[in-house]
Structure 1
Amino acid sequence: MDQMILANIPSPPQGVWHLGPIPLRAYALCILTGVVVAYFWSRARYAKRGGDPEVVVDALLVAVPAGIIGGRLYHVITDWHRYFGPGKNPMDVFKITNGGLGIWGAIILGTLAVWALFKIKKIPLAPFADAVAPTIILAQAIGRLGNWFNQELYGGPSDAPWALEIYRRVTEAGVESPINGRSTGEVIAVVQPTFLYEIVWNLLICVLLVWADRRFKLSHGRVFALYVAGYTLGRFFIEMLRTDPATMIFGEVRINVVVSAVVFAAAVAVFVAITRKVRRDPDTGLKTE
Structure 2
Amino acid sequence: MQPLLDAAALAPTLVSASIPSPDWSGFDIPLPWGSLRIHAYALCILAGIVVGLWLTSVRWAKRGAPEGSVWDIVIWAIPFGIIGGRLYHVVSSPDAYFGPGFDGTGDLSLIPQIQRGGLGIWGAVVLGAVGAWIGCRRSGVKLSAFVDAAAPGLLLAQAIGRWGNYFNQELFGGPTTLPWGLQIDANNPNFPAGMPADTLFHPTFLYESLWNLAGVLILLAMDRRFNFRRSRLFWLYAMYYTLGRVWIEAMRIDDAEQINILGITTRLNVWTSIFVFLAALAAFILLGLKGRPDPDTVYLAGREPEKVSGPDDGTVTDVRDPDHVVSDSDSRGNLPGNHSGSRHASDPTEEAAAAPSGSKPGADATAAGHSGSTATEPAPEAGTGK
TM-score by length of 1: 0.89
User: Are 1:127 and 1:221, in contact at CA under 8 Å, matched by a contact in 2?
Assistant: yes
Moved over 6 A (4+): none
Residue in 2 aligned with 1:63?
A: 77
Q: 2:117 aligns with which of 80, 83, 99?
A: 99
User: Are 2:56 and 2:149, in contact at CA under 8 Å, matched by a contact in 1?
Assistant: yes
Q: Could you say what secondary structure the match of 2:286 adopts?
A: helix
Shift of 1:120: 3.4
Q: Could you say what secondary structure the match of 2:22 adopts?
A: coil
Residue in 1 aligned with 2:339?
A: none
Residue in 2 aligned with 1:196?
A: 206
Counterpart AA for 1:254: R
Residue in 1 aligned with 2:352?
A: none
Residue in 1 aligned with 2:53?
A: 39
- Report the structure number with the largest CA radius of gyration: 2
Q: Give unpaired runs (5+ residues) of structure 1.
A: 170-175, 180-185
User: Are 2:235 and 2:283, in contact at CA under 8 Å, matched by a contact in 1?
Assistant: yes
- Equivalents in 1 of 2:247, 2:253: separation in Å? 13
Residue in 2 aligned with 1:6?
A: 16
Deviations 1:162-205 (A, max 9, x none): 11000135xxxxxx6569xxxxxx94531001111100111111
User: Are 1:8 and 1:164, in contact at CA under 8 Å, matched by a contact in 2?
Assistant: yes
Residue in 1 aligned with 2:231?
A: 221
Q: Could you say what secondary structure the match of 1:9 adopts?
A: coil
TM-score by length of 2: 0.68
Identical-pair percentage: 43
* Residue 295 of structure 2 is aligned to residue 277 of structure 1: no
Equivalent positions of 1:1-289 (< 5 A) are: 1=10, 2-20=12-30, 21-85=35-99, 86-169=104-187, 187=197, 189-250=199-260, 252-278=265-291, 282-283=292-293, 287-288=296-297
Shift of 1:93: 0.7
- Equivalents in 1 of 2:233, 2:204: separation in Å? 26
- Equivalents in 2 of 1:126, 1:108: separation in Å? 14
**Further displaced range: 141-150 or 58-67:** 58-67
User: Are 2:55 and 2:152, in contact at CA under 8 Å, matched by a contact in 1?
Assistant: no
- Equivalents in 1 of 2:94, 2:29: separation in Å? 32
**Further displaced range: 3-12 or 139-148:** 3-12
Residue in 2 aligned with 1:182?
A: none
Higher relative contact order (CA 8 A, sep 6+): 1
**Further displaced range: 78-87 or 188-197:** 78-87
Going from structure 1 to structure 2, the CA distance change for 1:5 and 1:73 (only over 3 Å counts) comes to same
- Equivalents in 2 of 1:120, 1:138: separation in Å? 26
Q: Could you say what secondary structure the match of 2:111 adopts?
A: helix
Shift of 1:52: 2.1
Going from structure 1 to structure 2, the CA distance change for 1:244 and 1:283 (only over 3 Å counts) comes to closer
- The structure whose residues are more often helix, as a share, is 1
Deviations 1:14-65 (A, max 9, x none): 3132232121200000000111111222111111111124111111211111
- Equivalents in 1 of 2:105, 2:198: separation in Å? 24
Q: Give unpaired runs (5+ residues) of structure 2.
A: 1-9, 299-386
Counterpart AA for 1:34: G
User: Are 1:78 and 1:246, in contact at CA under 8 Å, matched by a contact in 2?
Assistant: yes
User: Are 1:75 and 1:102, in contact at CA under 8 Å, matched by a contact in 2?
Assistant: yes
- Equivalents in 2 of 1:271, 1:247: separation in Å? 29
User: How many residue pairs were aligned?
Assistant: 273
RMSD: 1.8
- Equivalents in 2 of 1:100, 1:188: separation in Å? 26
Counterpart AA for 1:261: I
